[in-house]
Amino acid sequence: MELEDLKNNWAAMTERLDRLEIENRKQLHKTVDSKVRQMRQRLLLRLTFVVFLLPLFLWNIMRHAEYNFSIQTWVMVCLFVVAIGIRQFTWMYLLDKIDCNRMAVREVCLAEARFRLSFKVGIGISVLLAIPMLTGMLWDMNRFGDPYLMAGAWTGLAVGLMLGLRLFFKAWRGVKELREAIDDLD
């Protein structure tokens, strides 16, 4: 009689443990999906920000005919904008590949690793293209001979650098949080 009770209790405990494990797995999947959705929203917000501000920036440069940038500077601006666009769309594509409901844990880890590598490479390429672009812009602005323009350019560069670093660290924190959520799946 006691042996039967122990077997029944053991089976009931095993069943409850299995249910708890399934619930825990579902909660972890929801956490990863939430992080991926949050990163997608941030990427879309940044892309929208670039799409609306880039024409305003170009219109502002074009309306001042006395300030004409060199062809090399315009080529660097175009390369930079194209690289940013490719980077953003690549990140959106790679984030869409992370799906806990359709993939095994190993595949999710590999998809996240590809995204993280793409993030690092994308940031590196953007920085490498931004340096000659900004150098060319400052060089051209120096030729214009307007000290107020140069003061504004250096101030804008300092403010832009601080904002860019803030955005980078916020995005990197999101990448790390996604990695931690996926590590919990193992």
Q: What is the pLDDT of residues 137-175, one digit of tens each?
A: 889 888 888 888 889 889 999 998 999 899 889 889 988
How many folded domains does the chain comprise? Answer: 1
- Domain holding 33, by residue range, is 2-183
Arithmetic mean of pLDDT, 37-65: 80
Least confident of 22-26, 81-85, 109-113, 123-127: 22-26
pLDDT at 3 over 90: no
Report the C-alpha dihedral over residues 148, 149, 150, 151, rounded to 10 degrees: 50
- Lowest-confidence region among 1-10, 85-94, 156-165: 1-10
pLDDT on residue 180:
84
Beta carbons within 8 Å of 172's beta carbon, 6+ residues apart = 119
112 and 184 Cβ atoms separated by less than 8 Å = no
Evaluate if residue 112 carries a pLDDT over 70.
Answer: yes
Query: How do residues 12-23 score in pLDDT, each as one tens digit?
Result: 888 888 788 878
Q: How far apart are CA 114 and CA 122, in angstroms?
A: 12
Q: How large is the average pLDDT for residues 117-123? A: 92
Q: Is residue 105 within 8 Å of 181, Cβ to Cβ?
A: no
For the segment 109-116, the average pLDDT, to the nearest whole number, is 86
Percent above pLDDT 70 for the chain: 96
Name the nearest CA neighbour of 101 among 30, 35, 181, 21. Answer: 30
Whole-prediction pTM: 0.75
Q: How many other β-carbons are positioned within 10 Å of the β-carbon of residue 178?
A: 22
What integer pLDDT is reported at residue 166 of this predicted model? 92
The rounded mean pLDDT for the chain is 84
* pLDDT class of 25 with cuts at 50, 70, 90: confident
pLDDT at 85 over 90: no
